[in-house]
Structure 1
Amino acid sequence: MTFFSKRIEELIIESGETVASLAAIGGINRTTLQRIKSGERLPTPEFFCNLSRALRLSPIEQDELAQLLEIARVGETVSYSRRQIFDLIEMISELTEYKIPFSKEIDLKVSPLDNQQSAEPLEVYSDPMAVLNLIENSIDQELFSATQPELKLCIPHTESKVYDYIFQQMMGNKKKLNLADVLGFRQQSATDEPGQAVAALRHLIALSLLENINYRSCYYYFSPETSVSMPVTALFPYFILTSDRVITISTDFSQAVLYQDAAIFDLYRTEFERLVARSQTFIEESTDLFEVYTMEQIRQLKHVVEPLPCFAYYIDRELLEANMNKDFPYYETLLEMAVNHYGNIQRENPNIINVFSLKNLEQFMKDGRLNFPDEVYNVVKPADRLYLLRLVRDDLANNRRSYYAIDEEQIFMNGSTEFSNEQNLIRVILHYRKDNQLVFKAFEIYEPSVVAAFDDFFTSLIKSKYILPKEQTLAELDRLMQICDV
């Protein structure tokens, strides 16, 4: 018996009804309900809705039961990964939508670090809780005392407690922090838990979205057989640098050594730079469009989740020339790159599954603004907006393109985020306003288990409650065309 069927049995008992009476109330088959209760089968979506109504479940109870049903269908690991990706999407939307006031100040906890005059050049910590306290106190000391706080981390990306603590201390903090890390990702391993890796990704992106953190993150790959992330000339494989101290940490985070020695500090600072030089950029922040949007060929693009429908199918040279800013200093270069970029999508990716937001599409139909710097393009003319929307509508109606509209009542996703599922990587591009300037950030994730988790999420998304039915999507597109025609 699954947790789902056990919960169904409990709900039936709590309702005070029999299987027969519930079947009559919900207009469902009694034999099917009995088999679901015993764990012999799982309900269809329609059966699930009718049963929830018959049991008089609240929205919260229905969501909890739906979660148990998903676990019964796909397993706990896959269900957990999907939940983490869903939370990631909503977290990005919340952090880019709402501005956090800078009012928080750091208070130092009582710790050996408070009395710097008596601090030993080397201190050993041999308990996981003591190690975590040491890290937290060192972070607080840096934020409290340093004129320009900085942290350099060479720790596993799964050590979410450390990243969570930095996030909590910096959220709303008046200080600004320079944060850099080097992440070691395992190459594909059957024992890897993709949900944990996705959860770690959520922590990293959350940090990168705080306005008072200047974050540079790099990554490299190591073999699953390797016991440490990368050989370093030190006692322990992991370390954290503040402005004036080094914490070296054992593989299992149960032991640590605190060094307050200039020679040791210089050794680790040099080691960190060596690791950075051998790594690839994971998080890139820029106001330069060219640094974030790759104009190279994108092959085998499977899924795209973005604010607007995939207009790339329909953009040609004539449309670009009509809407790009000819006064832009690199206009000709950008035009040729854009023509090649959109032409490649049309040639190489004719079967992209595209998920978009009707809310953002409606805004585009009203103001013609795209997520590009103002100096690059002009506001898209109403006639061109209508032209693009008609092509989307016709392709969807005639099953020539795979378009799916997000149900805005089920998931909060603003216009700041684009996801693309490309062969062996997941690309995340963020674009949002920061201090009245458009900021671009790009993330490229190649870790196989994470790519597989996103692939599953996007595939399941188009069949989920988060997507509107095709008929409703077509009706909304017709409504938007009327708005633009007026």
Structure 2
Amino acid sequence: MSKFSEKCKELLIENGYNVYRLSQAASLERTTLQRMVTGKRLPGPEFVEHFCQALRISLPEKKEIMELYKMEAIGETAYRNQTTILHLFEKLSALEKNEGFNKRSIVDYGEMKLISPISNDKYETELLLQYVLRKTIQEQESPELYTNLPGTDTLLPHYLNLMIPQYGKAILIKHLIHFQTNASYAYENLETLHQIIPLCFSAGINYIPFYYYSKLSRNDRPNLLYPFYIITEKYVLQLASDLSKGILHSDPAILQEYTKEFQNCLEHSSPLLQQSKNLDEALQLYMTSFDTIQDITSLDATPCDSDFMDNEYFFDRVKEHSPEYAPFMNAYKSFLNVINQANRNDFFTINGFQKYCEYGISSGTSSIVIPKFSPEERITSLKYFLEHFSNENHHMLNSTFSYPDSLYIELRNNHSLFLINLADKANISFIIIQESSICNAFSEFFQLLADSEYITPENQTRTLIQKYIRQLKQLTFGITP
């Protein structure tokens, strides 16, 4: 029996029913119910909803049942990966709304004095971490920090984003991250993105992560003696496996040895990503190896530029509004020709689409090089999109799907993941990840997303496009629908 069927059977008994009595009382098909609670066959989601309503279970219990159902339907690993990616989008969306990529609250900690180089609880350890970071950023002209903290740790990113604006300095961080080799634990590798991506998108932080594979799991950590560390020019902070205890060293000989060994570790690891915070360099990176693209999946707030307008019109707009990027256009034209021949699967959000229709604000490349689209241009682009729309490779995500407006994601050939934060010309962050477990997880995520409850049906998508065309015509030309 599966976890799902065991939980269903448990709830059935707890509420004083058996299969026969519940099927009679709630008009549930008895054979389907019997097969569900014995784990012989998985019913449809509507049947499970009816089952929960019939038992009058609490909302937390219903949530647990539906989670177990999804886990059973797509597999536990796929479910964990999907959940982890959805939570990542929710986090990035929340950061964007709070201007978290570019602004942070400045907190004055006052003068910190070192009472003891040894901490015995989490509060004292956090003070040690604050002390090291504050001294490093305050005293070093070009501060650097090396660490192997778990990629899921939140303390370091939290305090960095508080202190960096306070001193107006940039800090270099080299981060050595442990990745799981077991595919069943790939979601742990994905969870590191919750800290890595915000750090890459943060102003004032030059973040360079490296990774290596190991069979050590989280369950092995309690058996390791102070396995984590933070190295700066003047300090080494050793940390216990649960980060509850710390030992601070300032002996130059210890610092030198730790720094040397850290560099040796980097030589046996791999860079996790390529990145750029410069638009020119980002465009060049984006168009690398484009001649090998066969499959491409994208996720953006609005539909792809090439779905809104033909290439020549796009190039004319770039020359008009951003002539400095005209030299890139020949290479970009070749790139688009390859993209148009590839197998494409594009996702966009209904919120981003409505913002484009109502205000002319696009996302993707056009938001950087082209100003707002006029109502006339929106009418033309929507007509073009409607003419080329296909539900096989265009998917509108409904309002329950949380996603930041400034983020563009592209997966090429299932082994190169591009993440681009496009705030404006001065604030662009470009990342390429080619680690296999992360790319495979995103590939599977997109496959599941295309058949999920987040997808707006094709007829509703077409109706919405037509509605905005009519509204824009009325606004622009006074034509009554």
1:189-204 superposed matches below 5 A: 189-190=181-182, 193-204=185-196
Which residue type is aligned with residue 389 of structure 1?
Answer: L
- Identity of matched residues, %: 21
The alpha-carbon deviation at position 11 of structure 1 amounts to 3.3
Alignment correspondent of 1:402 = 393
Gaps of 5+ in 1: 120-124, 227-235
Asked if residue 334 in structure 1 is aligned to residue 325 in structure 2, the reply is: no
* CA offsets 1:169-190 (integer angstroms, 9 cap, x no match): 346556357251233566x944
The alpha-carbon deviation at position 363 of structure 1 amounts to 1.2
1:150-299 superposed matches below 5 A: 150=143, 152-155=145-148, 158-160=150-152, 163-170=153-160, 172=162, 175=166, 178-184=171-177, 189-190=181-182, 193-210=185-202, 214-219=205-210, 222=212, 239-247=229-237, 258-262=248-252, 264-265=254-255, 280=271, 282=273, 284=275, 286-291=277-282, 294-298=286-290, 299=293
The alpha-carbon deviation at position 346 of structure 1 amounts to 0.7
* CA offsets 1:25-80 (integer angstroms, 9 cap, x no match): 65542221122122221111232333344344565543322111122223333222
Alignment correspondent of 1:122 = none
Contact 2:231 2:237 in 1 (8 A): yes
Contact 1:219 1:279 in 2 (8 A): yes
Which residue type is aligned with residue 115 of structure 2?
Answer: D
Which residue type is aligned with residue 79 of structure 2?
Answer: S
Asked if residue 441 in structure 1 is aligned to residue 429 in structure 2, the reply is: yes
* CA offsets 1:116-141 (integer angstroms, 9 cap, x no match): xxx7xxxxx8xxx9698886444211
Bigger fraction of residues in helix: 2
Alignment correspondent of 1:96 = 96
Once residues 85 and 240 of structure 2 are traced to their aligned partners in structure 1, the CA distance between those partners, rounded to angstroms, is 30
Contact 2:122 2:245 in 1 (8 A): no
* CA offsets 1:364-395 (integer angstroms, 9 cap, x no match): 12333334587732433434433332333333
The alpha-carbon deviation at position 286 of structure 1 amounts to 1.9
The alpha-carbon deviation at position 22 of structure 1 amounts to 4.3
Query: In structure 2, the residue corresponding to 1:453 is in which secondary structure?
Result: helix
1:10-21 superposed matches below 5 A: 10-15=10-15, 19-20=19-20
Query: In structure 2, the residue corresponding to 1:428 is in which secondary structure?
Result: strand
The alpha-carbon deviation at position 405 of structure 1 amounts to 1.1
Once residues 81 and 107 of structure 1 are traced to their aligned partners in structure 2, the CA distance between those partners, rounded to angstroms, is 42
The alpha-carbon deviation at position 164 of structure 1 amounts to 1.3
Gaps of 5+ in 2: 217-225, 475-481
Aligned Cα root-mean-square deviation (Å): 3.9
* CA offsets 1:167-224 (integer angstroms, 9 cap, x no match): 34346556357251233566x944672110001121222334455x52422335x576
The alpha-carbon deviation at position 90 of structure 1 amounts to 0.7
Once residues 58 and 470 of structure 1 are traced to their aligned partners in structure 2, the CA distance between those partners, rounded to angstroms, is 34
The alpha-carbon deviation at position 81 of structure 1 amounts to 1.6
Which residue type is aligned with residue 391 of structure 1?
Answer: Y
Which residue type is aligned with residue 286 of structure 1?
Answer: K
Query: In structure 2, the residue corresponding to 1:153 is in which secondary structure?
Result: strand
Aligned pair partner of 2:314 in 320, 326, 340: 320
Contact 1:305 1:354 in 2 (8 A): yes
1:354-433 superposed matches below 5 A: 354-371=346-363, 372=365, 376-396=369-389, 401-409=392-400, 411-423=401-413, 424-432=415-423
Alignment correspondent of 1:233 = none
With over 3 angstroms needed to count, the CA separation of the structure-2 counterparts of 1:184 and 1:4, relative to structure 1, is: closer
